[in-house]
Amino acid sequence: MAGQREMREKNTWHRPLIICIAVFFVMAIVGLLITGVVQNKAIKQKYKYGIVLDAGSSHTSVYVYQWPAEKENNTGMVTQKHVCNVKGKGISSYAKNAEKAGPSLKECMQEAERSIPTQRHQETPVYLGATAGMRLLRKEDDSASDRVLDSVVRFLQGTPFTFQGARIITGQEEGAYGWITVNYLSDNFRKAQRTMGALDLGGASTQITFESGDHSQSPDDFIHFRLYGKEYSVYTHSFLCYGKDQALRVLLDQQLRANLTGTGSLILQDPCFHPGYKKVKLLADVYNTPCIRTGPSSNVNFTHVGTGNGKLCQEKVRRIFNSSGCSSRSCSFNGVFQPPLHGQFEAFSAFFFVMKFLNLTSESLEDSKKKLVSYCSTPWDELQKNNHNVKEKYLQEYCFSGTYIVTLLEEGYSFTSGSWKDIRFIKKIGDSDVGWTLGYMLNLTNMIPAEAPDSPPLPHGGYVTLMVLLALLVCSLVVCGCCVFRRSSSAAPKQIV
Ligand SMILES: O=c1[nH]cnc2c1ncn2[C@@H]1O[C@H](COP(=O)(O)OP(=O)(O)O)[C@@H](O)[C@H]1O
Ligand SMILES: [Ca+2]
């Protein structure tokens, strides 16, 4: 009897205690879950911005980049927010009216202002890099190129952003920054993966860049980087005058010379232009470039007539590349050292525009050549009829441009039928355009650290989840322990009785 009373007394304070424990237990679990969810909820990101102007030979593009303000040094964080193509030609075309070069950027810089929050304008850096068009102008007329640069500097200093400089970048920089862009956007640095080569075709120059350990031959063609704790030895070479617009002029010059000396007539029968194509052009527009040594610079016209013979076009284009005179172990062309090709290549800019238009981005080398021959024989009026929305300047040149690309890659850089599949013709990686500008900004803002930053072994989300699970486990063990203890203590008096 005494035992039973004792039990009843015990039960009267036991039950509220268990209810209390249960309530606290539930509250603790809810608290843990809420903390985990709230802590991990996406915080509204604050962004920083940077602007780079790509002053190319044919036109200028303004790129706006953004990255989360508190993750500045985490590679892979910078993305393209906006791009604007400046109307008209490249800044080098303002050689004779330099003061207009800067104001030509007005509309695109206003677009950039609208795409960046006003409170960030003042801290946003703006860089301008000019490429081969300005390299050629500097060769031709040093003071004209200075005047053009002065004009863009003055204009950019008047924008609400922080102007960080306008300069002509070297061909080596152009190649190297393109390579950084490709591998940054592919996250190859952070993951310490094999890097990809970069192939850039512009209007006035072309660049080939890839990782290679073979740097005993031509140290000038190598750049060394330490990125994210890893050393990279990168081969890069830029060929001035081997952009597709300058290469076309070289080809026209070669053919014009043969024609002029032969018959004295000013009709150029060109296999790289379509049958039925006929245009009267100014000789001076072919010859006003330092890429051709001397030529008639008079205001004389010539008639450019297409014959659409793709095979003959290939033969003529091949002659632009000089395969003799290699004093190194291996060369690309014109006696320039090039180590053996290695790995996958991303081909962008005009490589992409042209191959995309011709539907050759996933064809084999042989099929590309065959299809080009057939494309070149298409009558000009038929092409015009079927391509109303394509700029005539581009349309008339795709037969030449395609033939030039295939020849440059095969005869120039030594890609074979086998290694052709290692080339990917691309415009973007993710949402960002591929080109040298992103790599340029990453470098100037020190946004790819030389050493990999130390990071906790678990990501934040994983850490919180693990802590919640472990807390649940501990609570469950405590509850189980209490139950076992209760059962054994309630069983004990019975045994005594
Ligand atoms: O839609 C297109 N189709 C064909 N070619 C294009 C298209 N858009 C741009 N291009 C060409 O891409 C090239 C870009 O060269 P860029 O102006 O960057 O010169 P650079 O890099 O030698 O200084 C030019 O030859 C231009 O004509
Ligand atoms: Ca370019």
- The answer to whether 140 touches 290, Cβ cutoff 8 Å, is yes
Summarize pLDDT for 434-453 with one digit per residue, the tens.
999 999 999 999 999 898 87
The mean pLDDT value of the chain amounts to 90
How does pLDDT run across 292-315, given as a tens digit for each residue? 987 766 789 999 999 999 999 999
- pLDDT-derived band at 192, boundaries 50, 70, 90: very high
3-state secondary structure 247-291: HHHHHHHHHHHHHHHHHCCCEEEECCCCCCCEEEEEHHHHHCCCC
pLDDT beyond 50 at 490: yes
The protein residue with its alpha carbon nearest to ligand 1, atom 20, reads 202
CATH, domain range 45-168: 3.30.420.40
Token pair 């920083």 is found at 48
For residue 475, pLDDT over 90 is answered with no
Q: Of residues 281 and 6, which shows the higher confidence score? A: 281
pLDDT value of position 497 = 41
Q: Check: CB of residue 312 under 8 Å from CB of residue 254.
A: no
For residue 84, is pLDDT > 80?
A: yes
Q: Dump pLDDT digits (tens) for 383-402.
A: 999 999 999 999 999 999 99
- So which residues are the catalytic ones? 174
Q: Whose CA is nearest to atom 2 of ligand 1?
A: 353
CATH of domain 171-432: 3.30.420.150
Rounded to 10°, the helix 436-444/171-185 angle is 90
Residue 175 Cβ inside 6 Å of ligand 1? The answer reads no
Which residue type does 180 have? I
Give the count of beta carbons closer than 10 Å to the beta carbon of residue 21.
Answer: 13
Q: If you measure from the C-alpha of residue 59 to the centroid of ligand 2, how many angstroms do you get, rounded to a whole number?
A: 9
pLDDT at residue number 472: 78
Residue 122 has pLDDT above 50, yes or no: yes
Distance CA 362, CA 344 (A): 14
Nearest CA to ligand 1 atom 24: 203
One-letter amino acid at 487 equals R
Domain-by-domain residue ranges, the chain? 45-168, 171-432
The residues, any chain, with a CB within 8 Å of residue 298's CB and separated by 6 or more, are 283, 284
More confident residue, 471 or 75: 471
Pocket lining: 241 vs ligand 1, CB cutoff 6 Å: no
The reported pLDDT for the residue numbered 301 is 93
Task: Report the 10 Å Cβ neighbour count for 242.
Answer: 24
CA of 314 to the centre of ligand 2 (A): 24
Residues at the binding site are 203-207
Binding residue numbers for ATP:
203-207
Place 338 in a pLDDT band, splitting at 50, 70 and 90: very high
Cα-trace Rg, the chain = 33
Q: What is 86-108 written as a DSSP string?
A: PSSS-GGGGGGGGGGTTGGGHHH
Q: What is the pLDDT of residues 359-371, one digit of tens each?
A: 999 999 999 999 9
User: 164-179: per-residue pLDDT in tens?
Assistant: 999 999 999 999 999 9
ipTM > 0.90 (yes/no): yes
Does residue 245 line the site of ligand 1, with CB under 6 A?
Answer: yes
The Cα–Cα gap between 416 and 131 comes to 29
Distance, CA 433 to ligand 2 centroid (Å)?
Answer: 12
Q: What's the confidence (pLDDT) of residue 373? A: 98
The ligand 1 atom at the shortest distance from the C-alpha of residue 130 is: 23
pLDDT at 496: 47
Q: Measured from the CB, is residue 136 less than 6 Å from ligand 1?
A: no
